[in-house]
Amino acid sequence: MSMDLVLTNARVVTPSEAFLGTVVVRDGRIARIDTGRSAVAGAQDLEEDLLIPGLVDVHTDNLEKHMMPRPGVRWSSRAALLSHDAQVAAAGITTVLDALCVGEVEHADQRDQMFREGVAELRALAPRGLLRAEHFLHLRCEISVEGMRESFALVAGDPLVRMVSLMDHTPGVGQFADIEKYKRKNARNLGMNEQEAEAYIGRRWAMRERVREPNRAAILAAVAGRDVALASHDDRTEEEVSSWAEAGIAISEFPVTAVAAEAARRHGMGIVAGAPNIVRGGSHSGNVRAADLMRDGLVDVFASDYVPGAMLAAALMVHEKLHVPLPAAIATISQRPALMVGLADRGAIAPKLRADLVQVHLADGHPLVRQVWREGKRIA
């Protein structure tokens, strides 16, 4: 008796087309793709639902959200990782790069502690097969703060690291370019009056002047020659993008202006946009609309950013509303991100690739994930 997993009567989405067909899985790999229904005994009838590749998320802050569900409220790191893992799997994400911050801007954020605990739990659970999705690390390096290099050194050579992004959240830079807006928001959050906020901003700029370039150089040296994707973060100007491109950085992550995205495209950089930006109809921070970037051909990949379920919703929205062909729309959340971080064995429904698959039912136009397989084994 055949032990193959046969998924039939599905609307199969391959890199080039979508059709009613059958996918046969053997030993965790896609063995065959056929048009039409299968008469094999035991074949699973997917009732004409979509069958798409497992999603590949190159940037999610979701683990941090589970570790600190409310400001200042810490949760068990192990429980947080298990809950985060279950959530991403349920969203159809079979490969996830957990984006953890390296370098602490504010001690109250506890991000350095969450980074260290998150790495420890991932190292403890993943080798034991206790996680549903396959997890890697995306190190979000805050290059404008002290202590970043010491934390980075703890994981710099770990094979779990697939992506490193260089961030600068100094007031007046990137997404915080509007100093007055930053001052109003963060003075309130940090319990400062206007005078104290101005002094705080001055201290941040002085620290930036001391450490930004040494931090930047240390990271670039540490990952040189390794199979690690390098990204800039929250690019605003053409000059910023050009500087990163000259340093060998090949990805612009979440450009905050169309000018930056256009510059990234001219330099041949991959461009990552936040899926929630598409779903919400714009940036929660007032930055460029991802739909406008997509319309102008300035998005390669969607990442969940802070909502795992946003990836699938965003891909289907650009298909429906921007008339992007379904295979190309699905590629933004599967094949393209997989290739961006050097995982060529997944991300598409094609023979010999990993059988990371997702059954999606459209309920009044909204995606409902019904089943998820990772290497042919059901995980959700």
Q: What is the pLDDT of residues 99-156, one digit of tens each?
A: 999 988 776 678 889 999 999 999 999 999 999 999 999 999 999 999 899 999 999 9
Strand order in the sheet with 270-274: 55-60, 93-102, 134-142, 161-167, 229-233, 251-253, 270-274, 301-303
Q: Where are the domains of the chain?
A: 53-346
Q: Higher-confidence residue: 237 or 181?
A: 237
Residue 245 has pLDDT above 50, yes or no: yes
For residue 267, what pLDDT band results from cuts at 50, 70 and 90? Answer: very high
What pLDDT sits at residue 182?
Answer: 66
Is 380:96 a contact under the CB 8 Å cutoff? Answer: no
Q: What percent of the chain has pLDDT over 90?
A: 81
**How far apart are the two ends of the chain, measured CA to CA in Å?**
26
Residue 375 has pLDDT above 70, yes or no: yes
Among 287, 281, 288, 347, which Cα is nearest to 318's? Answer: 281
Average pLDDT over residues 259-283: 97
Is 58:343 a contact under the CB 8 Å cutoff? Answer: no
Q: Higher-confidence residue: 128 or 207?
A: 128
Residue 205 has pLDDT above 60, yes or no: yes
Q: Of 104-113, 235-244, 342-351, where does mean pLDDT reach its minimum? A: 104-113
For residue 173, what pLDDT band results from cuts at 50, 70 and 90? Answer: low
Q: What percent of the chain has pLDDT over 70?
A: 93
What digits encode the pLDDT tens for the residues 12-64? Answer: 999 999 999 999 999 999 999 999 999 999 999 999 999 999 999 999 999 99
Tokens of 56: 């590949």
Please say whether the dihedral angle defined by the alpha carbons of residues 126, 274, 356 and 86, taken in this order, is positive or negative: positive
Contacts with 303 (C-beta within 8 Å, 6 or more apart), sequence order: 57, 58, 59, 60, 253, 272, 273, 274, 275, 311, 337
What pLDDT sits at residue 77?
Answer: 97
The C-alpha angle 135, 141, 142, rounded to 5 degrees, equals 140
DSSP-derived pairing of the beta strands 29-35 and 18-26: antiparallel
Q: Which fold is adopted by the domain 53-346?
A: TIM Barrel (3.20.20)
For residue 1, what pLDDT band results from cuts at 50, 70 and 90? Answer: very low
Q: Higher-confidence residue: 112 or 355?
A: 355
What pLDDT sits at residue 284?
Answer: 80
Q: Of 139-148, 171-180, 264-273, where does mean pLDDT reach its minimum? A: 171-180
Average pLDDT over residues 172-183: 65
